[in-house]
Structure 1
Amino acid sequence: MARTRILVAAAMALLVAATGTAAAGVDLDGPHTARHQAAAREAAALTGSAKLYRPYGDDITFTFDAHLAAKDNMRPEKAYGTFSFSHYVDGGGGWAKGRIDCLVTGGKTAVMTGIVTDSDTPHKGRRVGISVTDDGRHDRVGYSWMSADADELTVPRCTSLPPFETIKKGSGDFQVLQWYPEYPTRP
């Protein structure tokens, strides 16, 4: 009789634990699948703003509001949203803002491209690429124009240099939402 009570108690504990885990939103079937993720949220995102670290007083800011809808999970060129950046030092500099035209994320890294729609720099009308790593403590940013002449600013969609710049301590709040591509199953 005592053994039966122990088995019943153990079964009840397992049931309560499983119900509590499921209610907490944990996937009991293993890693998150693309289908599970797409049903629960947008496919990918890059949001936030931060200032770059520069030891000589440069004021450089990047801001993103980039999204890929769940319905467009396998079409990163359907991304939408806005971005902006500015760079000022010693009273001079420039700014730009634009619309997102591609977004891909992997882990905590995002690569986006967009067309500059307004600017006082040579970037206006060009596609630029920007990358971000959001590690929570040491965010980083990279951008395509670091290695290009003004006449060669345009890059292919979803292309940028790796995140090589560091963020000024205390300024960053980038958020990268992991993309889970869903590939068709083979027959």
Structure 2
Amino acid sequence: MKRRTTTAALCVALLLTAATTGAAVASGPHESHAGHAREAAALTGTAKLYRSAGDDITFTFDAHLAAQDDDDPLKATGTFEFSHYLNGKGARAKATVDCLLTGGDVAVVSGVITASDLPGATGKRVGVTVHDLGRHDRLGYSWAATGSPAETDGLLPRCVGSAPFEKVKQGTGDFRVVPWQPKL
């Protein structure tokens, strides 16, 4: 009888622990803490892209849409940077975010290049799409279809990127997407 009582008590304790843990997991990492509203959307992190030729390609994001701007992704703030080097030659650029849209684990961010060592790139808008898949993130960028940002004639529209066709180099992906949940 004592064994059945002990087993029943253990089962109840495990069920309570599972229920409590399940509620904590269900609330997710994007929920508010200590009464603060969570930001409406975000894209953060750094990763290198995989290239068999050994290209050194890095993307870093720090893009945010504040809770009070939930209805307007054009009010996103932050920066993102990217660089591409092979055999010591290449370029880097830094852009100021002008739009951020996220849905589930996918984010599209655009921004205007404010600093670059690629002649003609400063002042041009670029867009990037990230698929946050844990350590297997993927990424796509507008210039895959439009050509070098330095060579585009007009400004790319805000929040335009390409499908995330590039693979992140193993062990480097730490992109984090906070999904946008607008009030519709």
TM-score, with structure 2 as normaliser: 0.79
Larger-Rg structure = 1
Q: Indicate if the aligned counterparts of 1:128 and 1:153 stay in contact, CA closer than 8 A.
A: no
- Select between 132-141 and 53-62 the one with higher mean Cα deviation: 132-141
Q: Indicate if the aligned counterparts of 2:127 and 2:141 stay in contact, CA closer than 8 A.
A: yes
1:117 to 114, 118, 129: 114
Query: Matched residue pairs, number?
Result: 163
Alignment of 1:31-180 (within 5 A): 40-121=37-118, 122-149=120-147, 150-152=151-153, 154-180=155-181
TM superposition shift of 1:83: 0.5
Distance in 2, matches of 1:131 and 1:174, equals: 11
**3-state SS of paired residue (1:40):** coil
Which sections of structure 2, spanning at least 5 residues, go unmatched? 1-11
Distance in 1, matches of 2:44 and 2:97, equals: 12
Which sections of structure 1, spanning at least 5 residues, go unmatched? 1-12
Q: Indicate if the aligned counterparts of 2:138 and 2:165 stay in contact, CA closer than 8 A.
A: yes
The corresponding residue for 2:6 is none
Q: Indicate if the aligned counterparts of 1:145 and 1:153 stay in contact, CA closer than 8 A.
A: no
Percentage of matched positions with identical amino acids? 55
TM-score, with structure 1 as normaliser: 0.78
* Structure 1 residue runs of 4 or more that deviate by more than 3 Å after TM superposition: 24-27
